[in-house]
């Protein structure tokens, strides 16, 4: 496995651990559909939450969340709508969050940003 994939997997695993510790119920991970991929799909109470995980090993290129462009937000929204329609979940409240993970030699920093769209 390449370094970028390993780092991404580490970030997603840390995000899942964080979310389950906060009471989220993980429904799916790395869900692939015709509109792309959703990193984590979870329930928080009666809200279906899609969580995009962005992981970096340094701040050389800025904060992890800064890589989420307007186009990426639209992609996430389309994929969420597709997931909801395929699974008949139209009655649920919906939310898209971002978890940014910074993994350095000094430890791991995690920041959860709710309602990015």
Boundaries of every domain in the chain:
3-104
Give, for all 117 residues of the chain, the pLDDT tens digit.
677 777 678 788 999 999 999 999 999 999 998 888 899 999 999 999 999 998 776 666 666 566 677 888 888 899 999 999 999 999 999 999 999 988 777 788 899 999 987
Q: Which residue has the tokens 């580490």?
A: 10
pTM: 0.88
The confidence score (pLDDT) of residue 67 equals 67
Residue 116 tokens read as 């990015």
Q: Which CATH number fits domain 3-104: 3.50.50.60, 3.40.50.300, 3.30.70.2740, 3.40.1350.10?
A: 3.40.1350.10
The confidence score (pLDDT) of residue 68 equals 74
Burial 22-32 (b: 16+ CB within 10 A, else e): eebeebebebe
Distance (Å, rounded) from C-alpha 93 to C-alpha 41?
13
């Amino acid at each position: 496995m390449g370094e970028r994939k390993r780092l991404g997997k580490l970030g997603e695993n840390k995000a899942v651990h964080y979310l389950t510790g906060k009471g989220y119920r993980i429904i799916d991970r790395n869900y692939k559909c015709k509109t792309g991929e959703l990193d984590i799909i979870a329930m928080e109470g009666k809200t279906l939450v899609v969580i995009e995980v962005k992981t970096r090993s340094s701040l050389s290129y800025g904060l992890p969340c800064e890589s989420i462009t307007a186009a990426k937000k639209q992609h996430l929204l389309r994929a969420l709508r597709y997931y909801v329609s395929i699974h008949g979940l139209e009655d649920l409240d919906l939310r898209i969050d971002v978890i940014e993970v910074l993994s350095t030699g000094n430890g791991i920093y995690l920041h959860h940003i709710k309602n990015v769209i």
